[in-house]
Amino acid sequence: MDKDKMIIDFHVLQTVPPSNINRDDTGSPKTAIYGGVQRARVSSQSWKRAMREMFRDNVDESKLGLRTKRIVEIVSNEIQAKDSTLSSDDSFKKANDIIVDAGVKTKDMEAQALFFISMTQAKALAEVALSDYDDEKARKKAAKNALNRKENSIDIALFGRMVADDPGLNADASAQVAHAISVHKVDNEYDFFTAVDDVKDRSGEAEDAGAGMLGTVEYNSSTLYRYATVFVNLLNDELAGDAAVTGEAVREFARAFITSMPTGKLNTFANRTLPSAVLVTIRKDQPINLVGAFEEAVGSEKITWNSSKKLAKYASNVYDSFAAAPEKSFVIAPGDVADEFKGIGEVVNLDRLLEQLESEVAKRLGA
């Protein structure tokens, strides 16, 4: 076992009222069968999107990326910022050419697929586009190196980048986010709604009984178990060994995973909640998803309390039977829920947790 290896696991229990935060292609809330019964499900992609949006509220944009087809426009803007004498058409052409040289396929001045690019990489590409090279091979190599720049690309380092046409542009994801599932059985329900026309008919009379629009919205409510893990050493490698930025990345990942919420049908249901309990562990051996605590669905009474009890007991059993206890554990568990986690970890609030995680990363990485 690598004595310097550092893995941070996040376990969250969160109650969500009637909602439809993650829909399938028919508009129904996503579900999954687990432990022989149907559970509510929220995809990892959905929650990662919410996390990336929260990053923008707390992290300087210079340390973040954009996932878009419009990377030519982004690089073109950086080219014009460096050389304002260029016309828009000329800067777009230079941007398109250098992006193609880097290995990204474009069509009509757009990437053919969504591409995750950081602002650091966009600025580096602009530099290459405005530089002179002895031959095409040297220019292409410089372009690819620019697009693989690792400094400050926090979200790319966490969530990775896959480029099917050129694996040389891939970036390894240092974080994994599981699909959230409910700890109990769920049956989707339907809300029948009507919308009344505010404007009367031409006669000035009130409209007959009825509505201008009728419809249904499918929804469910659930207490979710959510899990994510961060491989801190890989994250540090993907951030060019900058321990300070790695600590910031871990802190903001923790904040976003714990407090973000996907926005599906949010205006309809106003379902934004915060977790009922959070368990964060620092390990050296391997990440451990504790969803097995809920293979047997929790009953319909005192779901949050019973879920906390099952999670704490299952974690203890796993540590006794298969893996060593974590090096450090932290718990956020308001009220009587905290009683179930006594002995599992230090009880803290969110601000204290974020400080501790950033401090632990800095200490382990020698910052």
Residues 266, 18 contacting (CB under 8 angstroms): no
The confidence score (pLDDT) of residue 40 equals 98
pLDDT higher than threshold 70 for residue 12:
yes
Cα 291 from Cα 301, distance rounded (Å):
20
Is the pLDDT reported for residue 239 higher than 80? yes
Q: What is the average pLDDT across 11-25? A: 97
Tell me the per-residue pLDDT of 217-231, one tens digit each, with 9 for 90 and over.
Answer: 999 999 999 999 999
Angle at 258 (CA atoms; ends 253, 259), nearest 5 degrees = 105
Of the chain, the percentage scoring pLDDT greater than 90 comes to 84
279-329 confidence digits (pLDDT tens)? 999 999 999 999 999 999 999 899 999 999 999 999 999 999 999 999 999
For the chain, the distance separating the N- and C-terminal CA atoms, rounded to the nearest angstrom, is: 22
pLDDT band of 268, cuts 50, 70, 90:
very high
User: Binning pLDDT at 50, 70 and 90, where does residue 3 land?
Assistant: low
Cβ atoms of residues 256 and 54 within 8 Å: yes
189-195/65-68 β-pairing: unpaired
Residue 242 has pLDDT above 90, yes or no: yes
The reported pLDDT for the residue numbered 215 is: 87
* Cα diameter, the chain: 82
For position 203, what pLDDT does the model report?
62
Tell me the pTM: 0.93
- Return the SS3 of 331: strand
pLDDT at residue number 8 = 98
- pLDDT at residue number 109: 93
Beta strands in the chain (DSSP E): 7-19, 31-34, 37-42, 65-68, 106-107, 110-111, 115-118, 175-177, 180-182, 189-195, 213-231, 277-283, 328-332, 346-347
Strands 213-231 and 346-347: unpaired
Q: Distance between CA 239 and CA 226 in Å, rounded?
A: 26
Mean pLDDT of the chain: 93
Does 202 have pLDDT greater than 70?
Answer: no
**Residues contacting residue 191 through CB under 8 Å, at least 6 positions apart:** 18, 216, 217, 218, 219
Is residue 338 scored above 80 in pLDDT?
no
